[in-house]
Amino acid sequence: MIMKASNSKNLIALKKAKTSLEKIIQMIEKDQYCINIIQQNLAVIWLLKSVNASLLQGHLWCCMVDAVKSNNKKQLDGMIDEVMMIVKTAQNK
Domain boundaries, the chain: 4-91
Instruction: Confirm if 62 and 1 have CB atoms less than 8 A apart.
Output: yes
Give the Cα-Cα-Cα angle 91, 20, 12 (nearest 5 degrees).
Answer: 80
Q: Residue 88 is which amino acid?
A: K
Burial-class residue 66 by CB neighbours within 10 Å (0-12, 13-18, 19+). Answer: middle
To the question of domain 4-91 being in CATH 3.30.420.40, the answer is no
Nearest CA-CA partner of 28 in 44, 15, 41: 41
Instruction: Quick: pLDDT tens for 24-52.
Output: 999 999 999 999 999 999 999 999 999 99
Band of pLDDT at residue 1, cut at 50, 70 and 90: low
- Residue predicted with more confidence, 22 or 87: 22
